[in-house]
Amino acid sequence: MEIPGANKLEKVEDAPEAYRAFLIPDGYFAIPAIPLDVLAADLSFNSDKLVLNETGRTGFYKVKVQWAREEDATASILNEDLIAALPQLGLKLQRAKRDLEYIVVDRIDKEPTTN
């Protein structure tokens, strides 16, 4: 979710073929160009919560945030630090309830069966 009045995201016009993140555990995270949907999915991957992009923005954006780390901080805190640094981009996370569709796979057969 965007912070009202904050427009700190820099749009990248040339879409790259792949995304490459630069991550330094002592408090630096940068991606030269990434869709915000992919950034939200990345934040969800290491979290116990689903993160959705509801900014309405499409295209690629430059992401670069920094934060101060404690000397005894562990890598598991990294995602929390990154989320706390999102306002540097003009973004914030907001708790909300959403209806989601999902598929449940209850069985996989090695050989397909006939109908």
Q: Does residue 95 have a pLDDT over 50? A: yes
Q: Which is more confident, 2 or 103?
A: 103
Q: Does residue 3 have a pLDDT over 50? A: no
Q: Which two tokens stand for residue 99?
A: 């209806």
pLDDT of residue 5: 45
pLDDT of residue 103: 92
pLDDT of residue 8: 80
Q: Which residues pair with 24 in a beta bridge?
A: 28
Region of 5 (left: φ > 0; alpha: ψ -120 to 50; beta: rest) is left
The per-residue pLDDT for range 37-86, each reduced to its tens digit, is 988 888 888 777 888 999 999 999 988 888 776 655 554 445 677 788 88
pLDDT of residue 69: 66
Q: Quote the CA–CA distance of 29 and 8 in Å, as a whole number.
A: 16
Q: Does residue 7 have a pLDDT over 70? A: no
Q: Give the list of residues 6+ apart from residue 75 with CB closer than 8 angstroms, or none.
A: 25
Q: How many CB atoms lie within 10 A of CB 63?
A: 25
Q: Which residues pair with 34 in a beta bridge?
A: 61
Percent of the chain with pLDDT over 70: 80
Phi, psi of 29 (to 5 degrees): -140, 125
Domain ranges for the chain: 1-115
